[in-house]
Structure 1
Amino acid sequence: MNFLAHLHLADISDSHLAANLAGDFAKGDIKHFPKHLQQGLWLHRQIDQITDSHELITDLIKLFPKSSRRVAPILIDLVFDHYLAFYWDEYHQQSLTEFTQKAYHSLQHTAELPEKLQLIIPKVIEQDWLMSYQTRAGLNKAIEGVSQRISKPELFKTAISDVDKLYVEIEIAFRTFYPQLMAYSRIYSRKTPEQYLP
């Protein structure tokens, strides 16, 4: 899952927004991180593990051309954020505008976030990444942005056209899988190991 999905899943499971998002930037043993981040990091890793191993996702990855299959999981995460933003009212009681402001506030006011996350927070807010996922143009910009932040940008050479060709298939996977992931998140938030609870 990408930024918007992790924040949404954190919110519906009543756990810390910024802490959940920090999972993409936090390496190593969770116990080395501040206590107020630990549950979010743990939940983030559970969500990623479920997603990466789910049959719907592994089957979807196989539909991508071999040349871009290595980055297919990243592309799927980005397109899932796009569909979540596009269909937002079906998945959350707050408007997307209100939710993004709450998420940005959490990112700005949470202490001791991983340094790499702290560095991009101003750009995330200034460019309003979460709202931009609603449109295809915003999705394409996100794909281009990710390609510029990895060591092998050539792997994204056909990324936008690959997504275009599989746009419907990815939507079907999202609409089928994401409600399951919402249920998993609520269950895991209740089953967080005691040592990670705030």
Structure 2
Amino acid sequence: MNFLAHLYLSGDQEEIMIGNFIGDFVRGRTIYERYPFHLALGIELHREIDEFTDSHPVVLESKIRLRPKYRHYAPVIVDMFYDHFLACNWNRYHHQPLHEYAQHCYRILQKSEPLLPPQVKYMLPYMIKGNWLLNYAKSEGIHRALSGMAQRTPYNSKMDEAIHELTEYYSDFEKEFLLFFPDLKEMSLRFIENKLQH
């Protein structure tokens, strides 16, 4: 899953949201020694979400469709596609309109800047200026994000071309997302509840 899903699956606790958001940029196992408890919980939740997603049979169907052309970049592309479908189906999952939720998230991240890793501090102004969270709902927004990622990969990933597969197999990818996401949401809620009880 990508930025929108990681923020959404964190619930309303701001430090958990921040931790989940920065999870890709934090290395090592000693997160509870290095970060405040709720922020470390968010980082751990990020890792649980990634592991759960990578091993889910429905997600595997999405990845198989992309693997012949995109090989090991297929999971990255599926993450982007699924954020698109979360944005498109936002009203199913959250009472607050997506444009308001996005601004809420940006405010939380901005005021938490001292806690952010350097790469995230660098990226955040571009994210806010381009309103990435809202623009995931548009095919152009996903295409722009994939093109940016393609430019940063060391090999010719062709991720910028994946918009063609999204268009061609749109209903298949959306069906798989809608099947998968309730499982991911349940896992995330259970994980947070269990951690907060201990």
TM-score, length-scaled by structure 2: 0.90
* SS class of match (1:28): coil
**What is the CA-CA distance between 1:64 and the residue it aligns to?**
1.8
Give 2:153's aligned residue: 150
Superposed, 1:120-131 pairs within 5 Å as 120-131=123-134
Quick check: 1:13–1:186 contact (8 Å CA) kept in 2? Answer: no
Distance of 2:181 and 2:67 partners within structure 1: 24
Give 1:34's aligned residue: 35
- Residue 32 of structure 2 aligns to which amino acid in structure 1? K
Change (3 A) 1:17 1:85: same
**What is the CA-CA distance between 1:191 and the residue it aligns to?**
1.5
* SS class of match (2:163): helix
Quick check: 2:70–2:158 contact (8 Å CA) kept in 1? Answer: yes
Superposed, 1:49-198 pairs within 5 Å as 49-110=51-112, 111-156=114-159, 158-192=161-195
Pairwise CA RMSD: 2.0
Give 1:22's aligned residue: 22
- Residue 17 of structure 2 aligns to which amino acid in structure 1? L
Quick check: 2:70–2:157 contact (8 Å CA) kept in 1? Answer: no
**What is the CA-CA distance between 1:13 and the residue it aligns to?**
7.7
**What is the CA-CA distance between 1:65 and the residue it aligns to?**
4.6
**Are positions 1:47 and 2:49 aligned together?**
yes
**What is the CA-CA distance between 1:152 and the residue it aligns to?**
1.8
Distance of 2:7 and 2:83 partners within structure 1: 10
Equivalent residue pairs, number:
195
Moved more, 112-121 or 9-18: 9-18
Distance of 1:66 and 1:140 partners within structure 2: 20
**What is the CA-CA distance between 1:112 and the residue it aligns to?**
1.8
**What is the CA-CA distance between 1:158 and the residue it aligns to?**
3.5
Quick check: 2:41–2:195 contact (8 Å CA) kept in 1? Answer: yes
Whichever structure has more helix as a proportion of its residues is 2
Distance of 1:28 and 1:109 partners within structure 2: 25
State the identity as a percent: 33
**What is the CA-CA distance between 1:97 and the residue it aligns to?**
1.4
Distance of 2:145 and 2:119 partners within structure 1: 18
Name which structure has the greater RCO, CA cutoff 8 Å, separation 6+: 1
Quick check: 1:81–1:133 contact (8 Å CA) kept in 2? Answer: yes
Distance of 1:13 and 1:66 partners within structure 2: 40
Distance of 1:74 and 1:65 partners within structure 2: 11
Give structure 2 stretches of 5+ with no counterpart: none
Change (3 A) 1:191 1:15: farther
